[in-house]
Structure 1
Amino acid sequence: MGCGLQRSILLILKGDFAEAFYMYPAIYTLFIMFGFLLLHLKFQFSKGHKVLLYLFILNLFIIIVNYILKII
């Protein structure tokens, strides 16, 4: 049993956004986190590290809950 990240990205590329979310719920928050990381590296936001920390914790929580629900 895989996590579904790659399949979710393929579904997004095909335009099936809802199915991508059902495959891997953290997909959109991961995109937001990596997008903000790129912006933070470019513009050096003053509180950017805290925002990235909160996004990381949110993604970790979503990934762990999703994994537990897939096992059950």
Structure 2
Amino acid sequence: MPGLDDFMLPCLNKALFGVECPGCGMQRSVSLLIHGEFIAAYKTYPAIYALILLFLFIGLNFFFKFKNSNKIINGLAILSILIILINFVYKLTF
């Protein structure tokens, strides 16, 4: 019986150029979260928890309007982008 890991999409950037893209590891990280491996998920894709917070807040804000929600969403988005970029540069250099 095929599992979730059998349906993961390959990274086109890595296949064509041999270099990981900024999103490489996100699918594996989500799979690890589903299997309860929280530390391994973070090590695979460090931005996973910031992205989860961002999407949870956006979802909650859809139903309950929060004061200063735009500032919170922007802050979480910037945090996520910074973590993604720092991780990407780290992967390229090490």
TM-score by length of 1: 0.95
Aligned residue among 1, 19, 25 for 2:46:
25
Deviations 1:4-60 (A, max 9, x none): 000000011111110100000000111011000011111111211110000000000
Q: What code does the residue aligned with 1:4 have?
A: G
Query: Which consecutive residues of structure 2, in runs of 5 or more, have no partner in the other structure?
Result: 1-19
Query: Which consecutive residues of structure 1, in runs of 5 or more, have no partner in the other structure?
Result: none
Which residue matches 1:71?
A: 92
Aligned residue among 30, 34, 37 for 1:16:
37
Q: What code does the residue aligned with 1:54 have?
A: G
**Counterpart mapping for 1:20-59 below 5 A:** 20-59=41-80
Runs of 4+ in 1 over 4 A off after TM superposition: none
Q: State the percentage of identical aligned residues.
A: 39
More helix by share: 1
TM-score by length of 2: 0.73
Number of residue pairs aligned between Structure 1 and Structure 2: 72
Higher relative contact order, structure no. (Cα contacts within 8 Å, ≥ 6 residues apart) = 1
CA RMSD of aligned residues (A): 0.9
